Amino acid sequence: MRKRERENPCGVCGHYHKYEEGEVCGICGHRPPISSDRTSLQLSAFPSVIFPDFLYLGSYDNASRSELLKTQGITRVLNTVPACQNLYRNSFIYHCLQDDKILQFDDAIQFLEQCEKDKARVLVHCMSGKNRSPAIVIAYLMRSKGWRLPQSYQWVKERRSSVELSQAVYQQLQEYEQKLFGSSESINPSLPAFPPPAGAPFNFGFSKKFLRMGSHLVLVRLREVCPKA
């Protein structure tokens, strides 16, 4: 949307688009939450807690609520979207990733490790809090905790159920896992190559019939070894 079509910019992203009418910003992708559930809208104002007193994950809307962030004790912000403006430079310490396609995992993790060392609370955000910022947190878990990709993904997904990684971003995580550990568990044919939809069980690529057969065989074998089982 051209500037002359609207006198004042959006109060959240600072660009010119009809936020009140639901129009998506053509520059940074900012849009109002899509939900008819008031509870969901209220909860969306709060970032997800990945680690209490340290690591928080959220959206640009979360990052735009300075008083809420201060209430939670957040003093630093990791912005994963170059087009998103850092709104409160006088109140928070910002670190912004510069590439809008390739996620700079090592750069972001270095900032997060410094935050942890300083015992500072930090918010990691992208536009929706569903794709780029969760990927950064997952990469941080792999490097700092030594967790593999499936475990790191599950940890974040359980704490922020709205996470929806794109295939391109998930592939970057697979490559980063291979860089860290020399291999990628997700490339193993017995593991899912891409995260299943929310609520779908991890069946590791096997059919339900095969899993039922496997469970039956395990039970039979267990009874042979331990008759009282």
Q: What are the extents of the domains in the chain?
A: 47-198
* Number of Cβ atoms within 10 Å of the Cβ of 90: 5
- The fraction of the chain above a pLDDT of 70, given in percent, is 62
Given a cut of 50, is residue 224 above it in pLDDT? no
pTM of this prediction? 0.69
Domain 47-198 falls under CATH 3.40.50.620? no
Active-site residue identified among 13, 28, 115, 126:
126
Average pLDDT for residues 90-112, to the nearest whole number? 97
126 is an active site residue: yes
Q: Which two tokens stand for residue 43?
A: 């909860």
- pLDDT band at residue 164 using 50, 70 and 90 as cut-offs: very high
What's the burial of 128, exposed, middle or buried (CB within 10 Å: 0-12/13-18/19+)? buried
Q: What does DSSP say about strands 48-51 and 55-58: parallel, antiparallel, or unpaired?
A: antiparallel
Among 4-18, 81-95, 150-164, 195-209, which stretch is predicted with the lowest mean pLDDT? 195-209
CA distance 78 to 111: 8
**What is the pLDDT at residue 218?**
37
